[in-house]
Structure 1
Amino acid sequence: MFGNRSNIVVGLGGNLPFQGSPTATTLRKAVQMLASRDVVIRSVSRFYATPCFPAGAGPDYVNAAVALETSLSPERLLDRMHEVEAAFQRERIQRWGMRTLDADLLAFDQLILPDLTRQSHWRDLPAAEQIRATPDELILPHPRLQDRAFALVPMADVAPDWVHPVLKVSVRALCAALPEDERAAVRPI
């Protein structure tokens, strides 16, 4: 059993309304649903309007990050996140497709899963392969974290000093290393 952790960060996003509610409302409700006896919400970032990724794949997104503590293992926390997604009728039809809610486990303390070799393989995967290939296991930290302003900008609100255990760089520095136009496209709502 895992003890309380303070550097666990979940990314939330969506670009489709759920039962007529705006995406920001869905994200707020998802945070409430994620909280439980086993999951304590420590902080929630501002909500951000972000361009659809990949470009042209649908309406723009609303993204946020949640810092939490849990006694759950990373795999069980991911199961809980999938339960929350299902409650908002998340359908996994198309990779990076439109969705009512997406919950990604971005970081779980300093854990590297399943191991450094596999994490590095997925982190270094060429862009064309990223679209076609899907890991069949939990990869931590999230292998695309360092590349995505829509994840890093909200994460900087709740865990700016978290250091990537492989890259040895803080969220603040990873965010600053992104192209300025990508950071500027992530706008607080």
Structure 2
Amino acid sequence: MILLLLGANLGDRIRALHRANELLADRVGVVAQRSAIYETAPWGVTDQPTYLNQVVAVETTLPPDELLRQTQAIEQALGRVRLERWGARLIDIDMLYYGQLIIQTPHLTIPHPYLHQRRFTLVPLAEIAPDFLHPILQKTTLELLTECTDTSEVKIFNS
């Protein structure tokens, strides 16, 4: 299972998530599952607008490095400009898991190194993959969520 986190906190956030889903289907493969959309507090750099986040499960034949290239191309197509780490953005697509692969390169770390520390990731992830086992920590998503010390607000978005 390949799991991605989508996030947006600038512009038309709903449209950005919908377009990201469409472009993932066009360029990456089948979007097999989608969590609800959650409104979440910013993490890291907190002086910015709230985010909308969604986790999607995709089926693809692309290897991890090409999947990363495609997700970054989608971000760019949707207007993302990288100015500040953890800063505000029109769209963000993070690779959380690529099956049970463990990858550490200068450009890609899988599983995502912060996913177990972030409620905005774990809550939507638990919705569609509650029993997915973290290949390094050897804990399920639900276990990681239960142990997470992040107290940031994460609530279902009602448009």
TM-score range, shorter chain: over 0.9
| 2:60 matches 1:92 | no
Greater share of residues in strand = 2
How big is the shift at 1:39?
1.0
- Aligned equivalent of 1:34: 24
- AA of the residue aligned to 2:34: V
Q: Which has the larger radius of gyration?
A: 1
Give the Cα separation in 2 of the matches to 1:178 and 1:167.
13
Give the Cα separation in 2 of the matches to 1:87 and 1:180.
32
Greater mean alpha carbon deviation, residues 137-146 or residues 52-61? 52-61
| 2:141 matches 1:147 | no
Aligned length: 157
Task: Could you tell me which runs of 5 or more consecutive residues in structure 2 were left unpaired when the two chains were aligned.
Answer: none
- AA of the residue aligned to 1:187: K
Q: Where do 4+ consecutive residues of structure 1 move more than 6 Å?
A: none
Identity %: 37
Aligned CA distance change for structure 1 residues 180 and 103 (closer, same or farther; 3 Å): closer
- AA of the residue aligned to 2:63: S
How big is the shift at 1:179?
3.7
Give the Cα separation in 2 of the matches to 1:37 and 1:23.
21
Give the Cα separation in 2 of the matches to 1:93 and 1:30.
20
TM-score normalised according to structure 1 size: 0.79
Q: Is the 8 A contact 2:119 2:150 kept in 1?
A: no
Give the Cα separation in 2 of the matches to 1:74 and 1:180.
28
- AA of the residue aligned to 1:25: R
Task: Could you tell me which runs of 5 or more consecutive residues in structure 1 were left unpaired when the two chains were aligned.
Answer: 1-6, 115-134
- Aligned equivalent of 2:156: 188
| 2:68 matches 1:82 | no
- Indicate which of 105, 112, 117 corresponds to 2:95: 105
- Aligned equivalent of 1:10: 4
- AA of the residue aligned to 1:177: E
Aligned CA distance change for structure 1 residues 38 and 101 (closer, same or farther; 3 Å): closer
- Cα root mean square deviation, aligned: 1.5
| 2:148 matches 1:158 | no
| 2:26 matches 1:63 | no
How big is the shift at 1:104?
0.2
Q: Which aligned pairs between 1:108-119 and structure 2 lie closer than 5 A?
A: 108-114=98-104
How big is the shift at 1:180?
7.6
- Aligned equivalent of 2:43: 53
Q: Is the 8 A contact 1:153 1:186 kept in 2?
A: yes
- AA of the residue aligned to 1:186: V
Aligned CA distance change for structure 1 residues 70 and 60 (closer, same or farther; 3 Å): same
Q: Is the 8 A contact 1:141 1:164 kept in 2?
A: yes
The 3-state SS of whatever aligns with 1:36 is helix
